[in-house]
Structure 1
Amino acid sequence: MRLVPRSLRVRLVLVTAVGASVALVLCLGLLYTVLDRQLRAAFDADLSRRAGDVAAAVSAGAPDVVPLDPMAQLYDSGGRPVAASPVLDGGLLLTPARVRALRTQLFTAASLPGRRGGAPEEVRVLARRLADGRVLAVGIRAAPLQHARDRLLAALVLAVPPLVLLVSAAAWAVVRAALRPVDALTREAAAISSLENGRRMPSVPGDDEIARLARTLDGMLARLRVAFDHERAFVDDASHELRTPIAVLRGEIELALSALADARTADDAGAPHDRLGEVDRSLRGALGETERLSRLAENLLLLARAGSLPARAAPVDVPAVVREEADTLRPLLGLRVEVTGDPLVVPADADRLRQVAVNLMANSAAAGATTLSVRVDAGREWHVVEFADDGPGFAPGLLESAMERFTRGDDARTRGRSGAGLGLPIARAVVAAHGGTMTVRNGLPLGGAVVTIRLPVHP
């Protein structure tokens, strides 16, 4: 059995009710104590006033005023009563021992025999020793005081449940009003089943915690929608890029199988093997498409992990890395690379930086450039590495999207080379993993495409 309710509203109201009950009990207990003391003080003040009046009269030589008091008794120094109110009917407010022991004044309690054999009556007594040595005792029945206490206690006890119910109802109304926007947010969030419908979280007015939560959730939903759109575009582009090499690979394999079957038929018939050359070409074409698919899969995996690319920090000589890759790729790309500028050693992942250099060189060569100038500038806050070629540059319509995935130039710029349009996006992802930025433009120093990489001095 679940003891704690599931509803936050019920839990808050229960906590409020329990807290209000405890607070009310403490406050009413304190009120009862204060009022009880005030009642007792009022009784004692009445006793003091009466005792003062009677004592003044007795001291003035009029002891017969004692019987006129509602409840008074006068004792000699030995403790024997010499005058008393008729209501006492032979009873004693003080015992002889207490009379003899009294020094100045004392509030005490006494018990008088009940009337007509009834229960004894409790009396509150003020005893005062007079100047001549006698003792005057003035009393008042305690029953009215006790009745007043009982009525006060009953009133306070009866007031607790309605007050607790009133506080609980107020708490329920306040909590319900405060959590109404949360219910609206919950219903809307449950109704949003896809990021494609463009639904937003309901607006909550104000600047309190719930309003800020609503704005935060709405902003998060917008960011998720943008990320979803990017990933969907990525999947669509990847599917489109994979469709062509897979179709070519399938066609080459079917052609090879057909040529091989014809070759076997010709062999059985004793004819020359003219189709074996076609089998060899088809298999080589299939191997090339397989290698292209492998590179494309690796690049797609790298871009998919762009937010968490591993980058091992180790000292890397940037100009040396560029020169090594340029020497390696020169026979393949036919691209002359000139590296100038400052010596620069940065903490980075050497393999990733090599990948950046290779992609940028291949991109320049694919665009028709013959010379690539790489300038290195070591700064105080940022290191700048600029790749500039003498090719035709980026088309005006591609400058904004050149670093987007699967963005490629026209056939004139690529000189018939095939590519998936992932070189610049991969380079940007690697640079971002090192805390840097990458921008593209056209113009000086060679008049073609210019790719500028900025790496932080303290990554």
Structure 2
Amino acid sequence: MRRLIPTSLRARLALLFGIGTSAVLLLALSLLYVALDHQLDAAVDQDLAARSDDLVASVRTHDLGAVHGDPMAQLYAADGTPVATSAAIRDRVLLAPEQVRTVHGRTFTDGSLPPREPGTPMPVRLLSRPVGGTGQVLTVALPLSAIDRAGTRQFVVLAVATPVLIIALAALGWRLLRAALRPVDVLTREAAAISSLDSDRRLPAVPGDDEIARLAATLSGMLSRLSVAFDRERAFVDDASHELRTPIAVLRGEIDLALAAVDDPAEVRESLLAAQGQVVRLGRLAEDLLLLARERAGTLVVLRGPVDLTGLAQSEATILSKIKNITIETYGDPAPVEADTDRLRQVLGNLAANSAGAGATTARVTVTTDRGHVQLQWADDGPGFPPALLESAFERFVRGDAARSATGGAGLGLSIVRAIVTGHDGTVELRNGPPLGGAVITVRLPAAP
């Protein structure tokens, strides 16, 4: 059965269109034939009724010549005996006596006129009616052969016209479908020709504002977004490779020095300590990349528990001030949140490292509560973010200083801040300006119930 169904959408639509059109056309032509046939029957009955009215009026005036001159009429006495007959049917009767006696009102019937010679009786349409109160019955008739021929001609015309119309409509539907789906074929070929190497290639625009035009515009927009994502991932791989290459090169050099100075314990110790620092840096970079990868995949683990964000900021400020050599001021009332304490410490540490790396000497942390959210604002007196980085500061490996060094950061601090805050169902924003004139980073977290 499936082999009989075409695989092409155009062919399936054309098939459905042909079947539906054929069904509707057959139904419409059938109704037309029935209506025409009914109209012919109604015309016959109207003709019989008009002739009957004229003949009844003549019979009531005792003018039987009108009956003799009618094409096919007969007047019967009350016992069924013919009183007057049309010249065209003399010596023949339209109704038998028992049929005459059953006529009590205007009655339309189908009958037959006996032939004069052996042959087939002529089918006729009869109208019988009483004439006054004398018991007489007048019957007028009309041959049905002409009506049957007209009906046959109608049927032949409709039978010939139906397949012609079906074929014409199917061909028209096929052409319309080809014209409507031609842009889809073009889009399909272009999409099949686009590869990852054609990152700047786009689908052709389809004129108009119909569904196919909107589909083409949507697919082109999707390709643009995929191109941007592809460029970002490629840049991420390049930056990660660059960041990993430097400590690995240093680590290899230090190991080589240690092996060359195996007889000098002091030199070996110094080389091993330097190598240890590079291993720590590699481990930290790997952990940061793993955190970002988990956040991107939606698998970042956040162990929530009650935390006073103000108290945590105050305790971390004391530690970070000594480590980062920056003065950190904290303000705010107790602000409980459901969060991961270690992750929040990582956020505060990265914010402090970002301010210290930018040359700030003072940072101010302000914690406030507003409408079911706890807001932590980190502001410093550094130079702030360069205007070109305000939109991309949270991206991975983005740094204000394009130069890379072995001691510089990898540019993942703010990316990790955003990942952790997002994992807590919060938001983070940044700007430059008051209260200290430098960078201002605002973190909003849901308040604890």
Tell me which interval the TM-score lies in, with the shorter structure as reference length: 0.7 to 0.9
Partners of 1:410 and 1:187 in 2: CA distance: 45
Q: Provide the secondary structure at the position in 2 that maps to 1:378.
A: strand
1:285 counterpart (259, 264, 274) = 274
1:39 aligns with 40
1:387 counterpart (363, 378, 385) = 378
Alpha carbons of 1:187 and 1:435: their partners in 2 closer, same or farther (altered >3 Å)? Answer: farther
Partners of 2:74 and 2:344 in 1: CA distance: 113
Letter of the 1:27 counterpart: A
| Cα drift, residue 159 of structure 1 | 0.8
Q: Provide the secondary structure at the position in 2 that maps to 1:175.
A: helix
Partners of 1:195 and 1:383 in 2: CA distance: 46
Moved over 6 A (4+): none
Letter of the 1:356 counterpart: V
2:174 aligns with 172
Alpha carbons of 1:255 and 1:196: their partners in 2 closer, same or farther (altered >3 Å)? Answer: farther
Gapped runs of 5+ residues in structure 2? none
Q: Provide the secondary structure at the position in 2 that maps to 1:144.
A: helix
1:221-244 CA distance string (max 9 Å, x none): 111111111111111111100111
Q: Provide the secondary structure at the position in 1 that maps to 2:94.
A: coil
1:226 counterpart (222, 225, 228) = 228
Partners of 1:94 and 1:209 in 2: CA distance: 71
2:110 aligns with 109
1:99 aligns with 100
1:300 aligns with 289
1:275 aligns with 264
Partners of 1:288 and 1:172 in 2: CA distance: 73
Alpha carbons of 1:315 and 1:163: their partners in 2 closer, same or farther (altered >3 Å)? Answer: farther
1:326 counterpart (292, 317, 332) = 317
Letter of the 1:158 counterpart: V
Q: What pairs up with 1:49-448 in 2 under 5 angstroms?
A: 49-131=50-132, 132-194=134-196, 196-259=198-261, 274-307=263-296, 308=298, 310=300, 311=302, 315-329=306-320, 332-367=323-358, 369=360, 371-380=362-371, 383-390=374-381, 392-394=382-384, 396=386, 400=390, 402-408=393-399, 417-433=407-423, 434-441=425-432, 444-445=435-436
1:326-380 CA distance string (max 9 Å, x none): 3444554444432112332234444432221111123334455554321123234
- 1:309–1:430 CA contact under 8 A, matched in 2: no
1:265 aligns with none
| Cα drift, residue 417 of structure 1 | 4.3
| Cα drift, residue 118 of structure 1 | 1.7
Letter of the 1:116 counterpart: E
| Cα drift, residue 26 of structure 1 | 1.3
Partners of 2:330 and 2:167 in 1: CA distance: 84
Partners of 1:345 and 1:366 in 2: CA distance: 30
- 2:251–2:278 CA contact under 8 A, matched in 1: yes
Partners of 2:87 and 2:255 in 1: CA distance: 134
RMSD of Structure 2 on Structure 1 (CA): 3.0
How many positions carry a matched residue from both structures? 442
TM-score when normalising by structure 1? 0.86
1:52-111 CA distance string (max 9 Å, x none): 222222221122432322211221111122232344354332222221111121001112
Letter of the 2:264 counterpart: R
Alpha carbons of 1:396 and 1:41: their partners in 2 closer, same or farther (altered >3 Å)? Answer: closer
Alpha carbons of 1:150 and 1:458: their partners in 2 closer, same or farther (altered >3 Å)? Answer: farther
TM-score when normalising by structure 2? 0.88
Alpha carbons of 1:138 and 1:187: their partners in 2 closer, same or farther (altered >3 Å)? Answer: same
- 2:327–2:361 CA contact under 8 A, matched in 1: yes
